[in-house]
A and B are shown apart, each in its own frame.
Chain A
Amino acid sequence: MTKRYGQAIAVDSISLKIPAGTYCCLLGPSGCGKSSTLRMIAGHEDVSDGDILLGNTVVNDLPPARRGTAMMFQNYALFPHLDCVDNVAFSLKMKGVGKTERRARALDMLRLVDMQDYAARLPSQLSGGQQQRVALARALITGPSVLLLDEPLSALDPFLRAKMREELKRLQKELGISFIHVTHSQEEAMALADLVVVMNKGRIEQADTAREVFNHPRTAFVARFIGGHNILQDNGRTISVRADRASLAPPAAGESGFAGTVRAVEYLGSVVHVGVSRAGNGAAEADGFLVAIPENRFFTAPVAPGDPVTVSWKLEDVHVLEE
C-alpha cells in the first residue's frame, strides 16, 4: 500500500504494507498525518498521488462503501434520530435489505458487542462506552476486511479505555480481519498493535512490532515519542539508553556513565523515576536523564533532589539512533 498526498503535504510519500489480519496502530503526535492517512484509506479524503491497494485491488477511486473498509469515527457519529438497531442496520438499509432481515442481522451484531439489551435505545440515551460498542457494531455489519478506527478510545475515561482496549483486541482476533487504529497514545499502541507505525510530519519514522519499536527505536523522534528512553550525544553519535536499564551506581567495567545531581524524584508505584542533571553541562541536555528504578530497589538506597549521584549503564544497552 503506497500513497502520496500533495498539496500542503499532510502525508508525504509514505509506503506501508499491512499483512492481512494485522492489528496496526498509526501512532504520532497531532498533525503528523495519521488521521489523513486513515481517511484516505477510508475514502473520505482524496489521494493526491500514489495508490491504495486492498488485497490486489487499487481502491483509490472507489466510494468508501465499495472498498471493503469500514470506519469508526472519533465521536462515534451515531445517527441521533435512529435507535441502536436502525443505526447498526443502516448500511443494510442502504443496500435495500428487507426490514425484518436487516433488523435480525443488526441484533446479531449488537449481541457480538454485548449491546442487545439496549437495541431500542437512542444514542443519546447511552453512555460513551455503549455508544462506542454500537458504533463498532455498525462498522462491522458491512463485513469489512479492514476496520479503520480514528482515535476510538480518546473520549473514554481511563478505566473504560483499558476495558475497551481488551475488547478491541479480542474482536480483532475473533474476526481475523485487519484493524487500523489511529492513536496518539503510545501506551495504547504498544498494548494493542501487532504493527506499530510511528509517524511524524507526514512521514513514517518506523513501522515494526511494539517490542522492536521500544527496544530499537530507529530515530531520536521515535525514542522520544515512545517514552522511557534517554537520548544522548556520544562521540558524534546519537544514542539512546532505556531509563529502566540505567542505574544509580558508579560505572563498573564494561559500563558507561556520568556524575550529576538529582533534579526530581517521582514515585509512580511499581517504579520510581529519578531525574538527573549532568554535572557541568545541564544546559546541553535540557531533558535531563531519567532513571527508572523498581520501587523496592529505590528504597534500599533512596535519593532526594539535590543529592549528588552517579548514573551508569551497560555498554550493551546503548542503542545507536539514525540521524
Chain B
Amino acid sequence: MRTKSYIPYLQVAPLAFVFGAFLVVPILTIIVVSFWDYDFARIIPDFVLTNYQELLSSPVTLRTYLNTLRYAAIVWAVTLVIGFTVAYFLAFHVRSDTWQTACFLICTVPFLTSNIIRMISWIPFLGRNGLLNSALLGAGIVNEPLEFLLFSDFAVILAFVHLYTLFMIVPIFNSMMRIDRSLIEAAYDAGARGLQVLVNIIIPLCKPGIAIGSIFVVTLVMGDFITVRFMSGGQSASVGLMMSNAISLMQYPAAAANAVILLALVLLMVGAMMRIVDIRREL
C-alpha cells in the first residue's frame, strides 16, 4: 500500500509552524523593517538604504563593533581556560559518580537566580566602598579604593565570565566523558606524559565540545546589552546597547539594520567555527 503523499508533510507541520512563526517571520520582519524610513515619531514603510548607509559610514559603529568583538574575544578566552580546567577536573579527577554529579550541580547553582540579580550582586562587592575594597583597605594592601573594579571593562568581563562559563563547562565536560579511558592508557603505554596526553589526545577529542561552548559564549556576548550597561555604568558601548538605545529613541529601522548586520557577522563567526570543527559528531 502506498502511503498518502501528504502524510509526511502533516508530520513535519507542527515543527515547521513553530520555526516559521517564532524564527523565520520575526527575522524577515526585522529585515523588512531595516529598509523602512523613520522620523522622530513614526516609522514609514518604504525601501531606503539610508539606515545601512548611516550605520556603515559612522566611525561610532566601527568602534562599537570592535569593542564588542574585543569583549567576545576576551570572554571567550577566559571562559575557555576556566571551562576546560573545571571540566577536566570534573571528568578526570573526580572519581566517584556521586561526587561528579554533586560538583556538576554546584556549577549550576548561579543559574538558580536570574542573571540580572547575579549582576547586581556584584555591585556591592566591587563598588568603591564595597566589600572587596573595604577588605583590601582594611588589610593594608591598598591605600585608596581601587576604582577599576566597578563600572569598567574589568567589571563587564568579570560579569560575562561569571554568567557564561557554565556554557563552556557543560559541552566540554560532555566531550571529555565520551573519551574512552583506555585511549588515555594507550597513550601512557606509548610513552606519552601528562601534558602530551592533554595536547595529543584530550584536546583534539574535546574540539567539538570546545566549538559548541565557543558558539554559546560568542553569540551570547555579541548580542548582550544589559550586562554592558549595568557593569560599565554606561561608560562602554556594545552593539546590543547601541540597538537598545536606538529602540528607546523609536528608531526601529536603524536598530533593525544594526540587528541584520550583527546577525550576519555572528552567523559568519559560527560558520567559521563549524568549518574548523565538525560538531555533528557530538550532537
Binding site for B on A (CB under 8 A): 42-44, 63-66, 70-71, 73-75, 77-81, 90-91, 93-95, 138-139, 142
Given A79-B183, A90-B200, A94-B196; A71-B205 close (CB under 8 Å): no
9 smallest CB-CB distances across A and B, nearest first, come from A65-B191, A91-B190, A77-B186, A77-B182, A94-B191, A64-B189, A94-B192, A81-B204, A71-B189
B188: Cβ under 8 A from any A Cβ: yes
Docked-complex contact A79 and B201, CB < 8 angstroms = yes
CB-CB under 8 A from A71, the residues of chain B are 185-186, 189
CB-CB under 8 A from B182, the residues of chain A are 73-75, 77
B39: Cβ under 8 A from any A Cβ: no
CB-CB under 8 A from B192, the residues of chain A are 65, 90-91, 94
Given A75-B180, A77-B185, A79-B186; A91-B191 close (CB under 8 Å): yes
* Nearest B residue (CB) for A135: B186
Docked-complex contact B188 and A63, CB < 8 angstroms = yes
Docked-complex contact A64 and B205, CB < 8 angstroms = no
B187: Cβ under 8 A from any A Cβ: yes
Docked-complex contact B190 and A90, CB < 8 angstroms = yes
- CB proximity of B242 to chain A, nearest CB, Å: 41
Docked-complex contact A73 and B188, CB < 8 angstroms = no
Binding site for A on B (CB under 8 A): 180, 182-183, 185-193, 196, 200-201, 204-205
Docked-complex contact B183 and A64, CB < 8 angstroms = no
* Nearest B residue (CB) for A89: B190
Docked-complex contact B185 and A138, CB < 8 angstroms = no
Docked-complex contact B200 and A93, CB < 8 angstroms = yes
Docked-complex contact A44 and B190, CB < 8 angstroms = no
* Nearest B residue (CB) for A138: B190
CB-CB under 8 A from A65, the residues of chain B are 188-192
- CB proximity of A103 to chain B, nearest CB, Å: 16
CB-CB under 8 A from B196, the residues of chain A are 94
CB-CB under 8 A from A138, the residues of chain B are 186, 190
Besides A73-B185, A77-B180, 7 more A-B contacts (Cβ < 8 Å) are: A64-B191, A65-B190, A66-B191, A79-B183, A90-B190, A91-B192, A94-B193
CB-CB under 8 A from A142, the residues of chain B are 190-191
A74 to B185, CA, bound (A): 12
Given A80-B205, A142-B191; A44-B183 close (CB under 8 Å): no
Docked-complex contact A44 and B189, CB < 8 angstroms = yes
CB-CB under 8 A from B187, the residues of chain A are 79, 90, 94
Among B182, B188, B189: residue with most chain A CB under 10 A? B189
Among B185, B188, B191, B196: residue with most chain A CB under 10 A? B191
A4 to B273, CA, bound (A): 52
Docked-complex contact B186 and A73, CB < 8 angstroms = yes
A228 to B229, CA, bound (A): 82
A43 to B185, CA, bound (A): 10
A313 to B265, CA, bound (A): 88
A73 to B189, CA, bound (A): 10
- CB proximity of A231 to chain B, nearest CB, Å: 38
A91 to B191, CA, bound (A): 6
- CB proximity of B180 to chain A, nearest CB, Å: 7
